[in-house]
Amino acid sequence: MVLSIFGRAPMSKVTAPLGRALNATGLTPNSVTLIGTVVTVAAAVTMFPAGYLFWGTMVITLFVLFDMLDGAMARARGGGTRYGAVLDATCDRVADGAIFAGLAWWAVYSEDDKVLLIATLVCLVTSQVISYAKARAEASGLSADGGWIERPDRLVIVLVASGLTGIGRYFDIPVLQSVIYPAMWVLAVLSVVTVFQRVLAVRGSEGARDIITHTSVPPADGQAESA
């Protein structure tokens, strides 16, 4: 949440000219979204499981930042499309899932550490739930903003932790070799808290107690109309 609030304005000063430059190349915002997602997923599921934490982090960080330019490109074109917004949100979920899945794979096969695996799986699940809670609330005309951990915070924590751990192991720096362990548990706890914060925010939203009718928002996936 902190990065989402205080990092947006400075970042826009950097991304705006880059977005205009990419538009001049003929690339579209949607193509940038897809390129960033494909490379991020490929790096996460190949480099992390193989133990290349530092280099995997570098590649992922580069293309996560590259993926951020799609919004700047859209704004430079006068605004994005609804399809572009859905595509971007969907690709973000895929990329986040791949990052945590790659680390979970590494935790199992390289570290043989079930405790780290549990923390990573909690982060994987909650990263999806946090985003879904907000999207579902907004589709219902409610608010689920806020919470301790949003996507920028989550990415900074996991990528800094994996990068430092990779540096520690490559250069044999003991103090850095296990940074990812406490970082993943801190992220897991904060993410679980954020899920509850968003659910409570929805509960307190105006209109949250309104009865759903056939002409309003359809029931959530898997929810019977009589439930």
Catalytic residues: 92
**What secondary structure, in 3-state letters, does 90-130 show?**
HHHHHHHHHHHHHHHHHHHHCCCCHHHHHHHHHHHHHHHHH
Residues 23, 25, 28, 33, Cα dihedral to 10°? -100
The answer to the question of whether 33 is labelled as a binding residue is yes
User: What's the residue count for the chain?
Assistant: 227
Residue 153 CA to residue 205 CA, distance in Å, equals 25
213 is in an annotated binding site: no
Q: Would you say 154 is a known binding-site residue?
A: no
Longest dimension (CA), the chain: 63
Is 71 among the annotated ligand-binding positions?
Answer: yes
38 is in an annotated binding site: no
Helix (H, G, I), strand (E, B) or coil at 10: helix
70 assigned to a ligand binding site: yes
Q: Is 75 annotated as a binding residue?
A: yes
The response to whether 140 counts as a known ligand-binding position is no
Binding site residue list for Mg(2+): 67, 70, 88, 92
- Which residues carry a binding-site annotation for a CDP-1,2-diacyl-sn-glycerol? 30-33, 71, 75, 81
Output the known binding site.
30-33, 67, 70-71, 75, 81, 88, 92
